[in-house]
Amino acid sequence: MTTGLVWFRSDLRLGDNPAWAEATALHERVVALFVIDPGLWDGSGAARRNQLGAHLVALDDSLGQWGGRLLVRRGDPVEAVLEAARGADAVYWNDDVTPYAARRDRAVRSELDGRERVHDGRYVHAPGQILTSAGEPYRVFTPFHRRWAAEPWAPLPEPGEARVAGDPGGGVPDLPPAVMPGGEAAALVRLAAAVDRADDYDEVRDRPDLDATSRLSADLKFGTLSPRTAARDIGDESAGRRSLVRQLAWRDFYAQVMHFHPDTTARSMRREYDSIAWRDDPEALAAWQAGLTGYPIVDAGMRQLAAEGWMHNRVRMIAASFLVKDLLVDWRLGERHFRRLLVDGDVAQNVGNWQWVAGTGTDAAPYFRVFNPVLQGKRFDPNGDYVRRWVPELGDLDGAALHAPWMLGPLELETAGVVLGDTYPPPIVDHAEARDAAIAAYEAARG
């Protein structure tokens, strides 16, 4: 009887999972392994840990339908995988692009004597597959997307009928309830809901006051949902559907950027911006993290992040721009804060999006593009409903007026029970002055 070991990581599903499919097709017995890496586990916020735990419980339940269990180990992943691989004829996993994963996987490979079988199961098209006619990686998204959309898919994998081993190891840790129901089946329910409202996606996706986004980012991060399944089910029958699928292409694009440029976790893609004179301002950083900047749309987003481990994408851009361009705080500090707290904290996506906002990455916005948090709030949260949900101390202000409470008269503030500097902070910076200072800092770095 041959044995295959499947090492699950960010691919916590059995459907459209090439590593799982090949192992169960080629072996009579399969061991399903997940390693709780203390470095990653302890570095995650509670929301992401709880969600991971829910997904692992669901995966264990799914494996029970195969007559087995998920083998859970805690400790150094290299040691844990090699220990579980004793007696295995081959070890299967789906690749990852982060620098940490690359180092870890190289260490495992070096000890397996050629027994590893590595697949691409996290993206529609694997990093390195979509290249220019000269065989070079794209640096700009639009031509990448054209090639990405035209590239045929590899066949969806079909699993075999292997028997799954029944040792649960240490078992899944007992954790508080997750933000969302865990597992592949629940992810498919969320996908179906996203498909139902996909036709309107283009028109409403920037409205944080509406529940109008796909909410699939966390499932894609944990791999409870295959991006190919998502793209197939969403389809291209309307502008909204095409726009939603385009987000999957962005996901592939940023994964490929990190695949070819792993140092972008620490360095600007556009090297000249490594010399920006960032401000060392712990108090401003702390105010931003706590949602106490005095700019309501920014504060609402940061409070939502702290409470739910999630933030609407438009608000992510506004909050990130405020840190980098209004406070002139290094984008890497914001990226790490987001990555730690976000349920969908995917390194490649987080780094790529932060560098986009900062204007330091590929396909970057111009360095002089600075989001005005007041105008952004009024445009995308026109009645202030999103801000009221997360900044209740402004809840009695009328309409869009709450996006700039310092502009209101004393009577309006008093009637709403708002005391600037007491119940709600005044702005910690003047946006117009901060914008000028940021542009000057970028121009100085450009030489």
For 45-55, what is each residue's pLDDT tens digit? 999 999 999 99
pLDDT of residue 211: 86
435's enclosing H/E stretch is helix 431-446
DSSP conformational letter for 400 = G
- Say yes or no: 79 and 22 in one domain: yes
Average pLDDT, stretch 250-279? Answer: 96
- CATH number of the domain at 336, please: 1.10.579.10
* Domain-embedded: residue 429: yes
Is the same domain home to 409 and 298?
yes
CATH number for the domain that contains residue 134: 1.25.40.80
More confident residue, 211 or 347: 347
Residue 171 included in any domain: no
* Token pair in block for residue 309: 């481990």
In a domain, 210, yes or no: yes
Q: Which of 12-21, 58-67, 75-84, 148-157 has the lowest mean pLDDT?
A: 148-157
Residue 307 tokens read as 């409470």
- DSSP letters for 72-129: EEES-HHHHHHHHTTT-SEEEEE---SHHHHHHHHHHHTTTTT-EEEE--SSSS-TTS
User: In this model, does residue 368 exceed pLDDT 90?
Assistant: no
Per-residue model confidence as pLDDT tens digits over 298-316 = 999 999 999 999 999 999 9
- 372: containing domain: 271-446
Average pLDDT, the chain: 96
Give pLDDT tens digits for 104-116.
999 999 999 999 9
- Residue ending a domain, choose from 228, 260, 292: 260
Name the residue with tokens 């952004």.
376
Are 251 and 296 in a shared domain?
A: no
Q: Is residue 379 part of a domain?
A: yes
Instruction: Evaluate if residue 229 carries a pLDDT over 80.
Output: yes
179 occurs within a structural domain: no
Is 172 a member of any domain? no
Contacts for 318 with CB less than 8 Å, ≥ 6 apart: 297, 298, 301, 371, 373, 376, 377
Asked if residue 147 and residue 110 are part of one domain, the reply reads no
132-166: buried (b, 16+ CB within 10 Å) or exposed (e) per residue? eeeeebbbebeebbebbbeeeeeeebebeebebbe
Same-domain pairing of 131 and 116: no
Whether 294 and 363 map to the same domain: the answer is: yes
Could you tell me the two tokens for 18? 């090439």
Residues 59 and 146 in one domain: no
Asked if residue 131 and residue 116 are part of one domain, the reply reads no
CA nearest to 296, candidates 358, 385, 413, 411 = 385
How many domains would you assign to the chain? 3
17 and 144 fall within a common domain: no
Residue 276 and residue 233 in one domain: no
- Angle among Cα 326, 321, 201 to the nearest 5 degrees reads 150
Structure tokens at 304: 């939502």
* pLDDT tops 90 at residue 237: yes
Q: Which residues pair with 257 in a beta bridge?
A: none
| pLDDT over 90 at 364, yes or no | no
Contact at 8 Å (CB) between 250 and 348? Answer: no
pLDDT confidence of residue 367: 82
Confirm whether 165 is domain-assigned: no
Q: What is the CATH number of the domain that holds 99?
A: 3.40.50.620
User: Domain boundary at 216, 234, 260, which?
Assistant: 260
Q: So what's the pLDDT on residue 314?
A: 97
Q: Which amino acid is at 46?
A: A
- Examine residue 380 and state whether it is found in any structural domain, yes or no: yes
In whole angstroms, give the CA distance from residue 74 to residue 272: 42
Q: What is the pLDDT of residue 362?
A: 84
Average pLDDT over residues 143-155: 95
Q: Kind and range of the H or E element at 8?
A: strand 3-8
**Does the pLDDT value for residue 444 go beyond 70?**
yes
Helix (H, G, I), strand (E, B) or coil at 33: strand
Mean of the pLDDT values across residues 182-192? 98
Band (349; pLDDT cuts 50, 70, 90): very high
Residue identified by tokens 């996006």 is: 403
Q: Amino acid identity of 202?
A: D
Query: How far is CA 290 from each of CA 14, 299, 358, rounded to the nearest angstrom?
Result: 39, 8, 21
For residues 252 and 310, membership in a common domain is answered with: no
Same domain, 253 and 316: no
CB contact at 8 A, 105 and 65: no
208: burial class by Cβ within 10 Å (0-12, 13-18, 19+)?
buried
Structure tokens at 6: 């499947």
Round to whole Å and give the CA distance between 291 and 311: 13
Rg of the chain in Å (alpha carbons)? 23
- Examine the fold and report which residue of 210, 230, 260 is the final residue of a domain before the chain moves on: 260
pLDDT in tens, 394-418: 999 988 899 999 999 999 999 999 9
Residue 76 is predicted with a pLDDT of: 97
